[in-house]
Structure 1
Amino acid sequence: MNNLFKIIPFLLFCFVVNFAQAQEIFGNWEMTNDEGRVNCIIKIFSKQDGEVCGKVHRIVKEKHRDRICKNCEGEKKNKPIEGLELIYGLHKDGKEYSGGELINPKSGKVYKCKIWLDEDNPNKLKVRGYVAFFYKTMTWNRQQ
């Protein structure tokens, strides 16, 4: 019985840590295509200055892992897509992160971007790329 009282606080601590982590955008997310298949894993992270970014952590299909961003401009041109920072410049703004940009590595086009957790399911990340009033919102699933 005495051991039970030692284990309960530890279990509560683990539960609280896991719950808090599930409420954050940081971590690995599965980016899916229009057919619902996972293309790659995107790692969302914060830099020391507070800027939130996302990079391609892993391309799922091994035969595609050596692809480069040939249509990108500037320092990202001809860099490997795996490891490439595709989302950058985001800063917390209430419940969302906004003010950043997102690169489509196939076209090289750059879009304004914002991301936020789904209010009903913190294991789903909403990623919106937009130009003026036109936008597309993707839903990424937290990698388990």
Structure 2
Amino acid sequence: MNKPGIPKNLLLATAAMLACAATQAQMTPVGNWHSMDEKTGELKSLIVIADKGGVLNGHIEKLLRKETDPKGVCKECRDDRKDKPMLGLEIIRGAKQVEGKEVWESGKILNPKNGKEYTLRMTPIEGGKKLEVRGSIAFFVRTQTWVRVQ
């Protein structure tokens, strides 16, 4: 139903722009993600990635494995995160978008199990429904696919 005084084509154009903006907003790592065990497919954790001035950081919001101690700490961490609680632990630091691409790099990702930090690359895939998370040290590369939580 068209409102008086508002041209129909303006309403359609506005609706189309809003739909595009909603789609584009999903093509970012910012948001809530489930990490999964590659071997079993079991959910491991809920990760929240936030943008602070164009720099992305992410932390563990919730531990989802049954056998995981919710009061556990990062015993293997070697920096300021040593002995910090796993809940709230910042595992992604300093990722920035590559100019002109839907790729975020230049950051680090922490594996709390071994305390090692890896060079990070994150790429939204499947229209932003999934996130390809790649960590690397020298020639060793490991890629996980995280699933967006709505």
Tell me the TM-score normalised to structure 2 length. Answer: 0.81
Q: In 2, Cα distance between the equivalents of 1:93 and 1:15?
A: 24
Larger Rg: 2
Identity between Structure 1 and Structure 2 (%): 31
Cα RMSD for the two superposed structures: 2.3
Asked whether 1:131 is paired with 2:134, we answer: no
Say which SS state the counterpart of residue 74 (structure 1) adopts. Answer: coil
Deviation at 1:8, TM superposition (A): 6.8
Q: For residues 1-144 of structure 1, what are the structure 2 equivalents within 5 Å?
A: 1-2=1-2, 15-34=19-38, 35-48=40-53, 50-61=54-65, 64-94=69-99, 95=101, 96-118=103-125, 120-144=126-150
Aligned in 2, Cα 1:12/1:73: closer, same or farther, shift over 3 Å?
A: same
Q: In 2, Cα distance between the equivalents of 1:51 and 1:18?
A: 21
User: For residue 63 of structure 2, what is the amino acid of its counterpart?
Assistant: I
Tell me the TM-score normalised to structure 1 length. Answer: 0.84
* Over 4 Å off, 4+ runs: 7-14
More helix by proportion, 1 or 2?
1
Unpaired runs of 5+ in structure 2?
none
Unpaired runs of 5+ in structure 1?
none
Aligned residues: 141
Say which SS state the counterpart of residue 15 (structure 1) adopts. Answer: helix
Say which SS state the counterpart of residue 80 (structure 2) adopts. Answer: helix
Q: In 1, Cα distance between the equivalents of 2:71 and 2:12?
A: 48
